[in-house]
Amino acid sequence: MSHTATDSEIDAVVDRIDEIGLKAELSRGEERTVIGVIGGNAYAYKDAFSHLGGIQEIIPITKPFKLASREFRRNDTVVDVGGVKIGNDEVVVMAGPCSVEGEEMLLDTARHVAAQGARVLRGGAFKPRTSPYSFQGLGESALKMMAAARAETGLKVVTEVVSPGDVALVAKYADILQLGTRNMQNYALLQEAGRSGKPVLLKRGMSSTIEEWLLAAEYILSQGNRDVILCERGIRTFETATRFTLDLNAVPLVRELSHLPVIVDPSQATGRWSLVGPMSLAAVAAGANGLIIEVHPQPNQALSDGAQSLDFESFDHLMVDLRRLLGAMQKQLA
Ligand code: PEP
Ligand code: MN
């Protein structure tokens, strides 16, 4: 719409879109309002708008993902998680154990990472394990422990949901719903998360292209949920020396293609605690909006992902290095 378009002109365009049977997605920016027209071959209907006022131009979004594209929204999306903003110039650190193993270890970790500058507590309650015989997580009791840790430390809570039927339960406790790499193309789960009213942290599928990842985000966005945070967590390559290969190209590329915030999970990506610090710094240097890092009081006793978890001391070193890097970049921690 042109910058002088009136509210009634905007309403008239939205009504016309409804009449045709397409879906309107309004994005009110500072300079102008963009109305996304969603539906198969929507551009073919462009003549139906020729008599309406206030329209500056009608442009086809050429990418297969629409609401996620930079063409739809020029300015960065900033996801506001109860005051913690993800997607602006500040870098958000999320940290905590791979799995919630008990109240004490969770509280210890939460207190520690909060004191070091983390803003979000991670911790799995429902774990998508490769083997059915591995620890599957403590379920709702772990969610309650996460909520208690939030009450004490002020950290926000991110935790994974693995099935559509659990979305309402997890949303009751979590501030951010994590959708894992193994579920990136679980479309029923994406849609349910899209209707949850909670911000969603969408991990990249370990064998997914960037286009497939952004189309997965589109599933969430198309349910009316604008608060999607993308997370690069490593992809499968021929290399077996590390657990996955961190695709750092994805960070600046996705920030070009999309307005959504992008964070990096160096823990899952490398599988080795000694690589987590260097790759965290590299991710931030590449423009990541945040990091999600596994931290455990005693990594060698962890029930999942101990080999890639930082102990408290290594986490402290990382936070010192991160602050120095951010200083050089004239940025800061959120
Ligand atoms: C995790 O964060 O512990 C996890 C299982 O992540 P991913 O889905 O990226 O493997
Ligand atoms: Mn893990």
Note the pLDDT tens digit of each residue in 80-132: 999 999 999 999 999 999 999 999 999 999 999 999 999 999 999 999 999 99
26 & 101 share domain: no
| Domain assignment of residue 168, yes or no | yes
24 & 128 share domain: no
Please report the atom of ligand 1 found closest to the CA of residue 305.
Answer: 3
| Domain assignment of residue 31, yes or no | yes
Looking at the structure of the chain, the number of domains it has is: 2
CA–centroid distance, residue 101 to ligand 2 (Å): 12
Instruction: Look at residue 216 and tell me whether its pLDDT is greater than 80.
Output: yes
CA–centroid distance, residue 27 to ligand 2 (Å): 36
Range 44-68 average pLDDT: 92
| Domain assignment of residue 53, yes or no | no
Confidence of residue 30 (pLDDT cuts 50, 70, 90): confident
Closest residue by Cα to atom 9, ligand 1, is 181
**To test ligand 1's pocket by mutation, which of 203, 264, 267, 303 has the most ligand atoms within 8 angstroms of CB?**
203
Q: How far is CA 110 from the centre of its chain?
A: 20
Closest residue by Cα to atom 8, ligand 1, is 180
Domain that holds residue 22: 7-48
CATH code, 108: 3.20.20.70
Note the pLDDT tens digit of each residue in 275-316: 999 999 999 999 999 999 999 999 999 999 999 999 999 999
The secondary structure of 313-331 as a DSSP string is HHHHHHHHHHHHHHHHTT-
| Domain assignment of residue 215, yes or no | yes
Confidence of residue 260 (pLDDT cuts 50, 70, 90): very high
CA–centroid distance, residue 274 to ligand 1 (Å): 18
Instruction: Look at residue 29 and tell me whether its pLDDT is greater than 80.
Output: no
Provide the 10 A C-beta neighbour count for residue 11. 11
Please report the atom of ligand 1 found closest to the CA of residue 180.
Answer: 8
Closest residue by Cα to atom 4, ligand 1, is 180
Pocket of ligand 1 (CB under 6 A): 98, 124, 128, 180-182, 203, 233, 265, 268
Segment among 27-31, 123-127, 222-226, 285-289 with least mean pLDDT:
27-31
| Domain assignment of residue 68, yes or no | no
Q: Which residue did the predictor score with more confidence, 28 or 196? A: 196
CA–centroid distance, residue 48 to ligand 1 (Å): 46
Which listed ligand is nearest to 231 at the C-alpha?
1
Relative orientation angle of helices 312-328 and 103-115, to the nearest 10 degrees: 30
Share of residues in the chain with pLDDT > 70 (%):
100
| Domain assignment of residue 73, yes or no | no
26 & 175 share domain: no
17 & 104 share domain: no
87 & 42 share domain: no
145 & 28 share domain: no
Instruction: Look at residue 138 and tell me whether its pLDDT is greater than 90.
Output: yes
* CB-based contact 137:100 (threshold 8 Å): yes
Residue 282 phi/psi, 5° resolution? -60, -40
Confidence of residue 156 (pLDDT cuts 50, 70, 90): very high
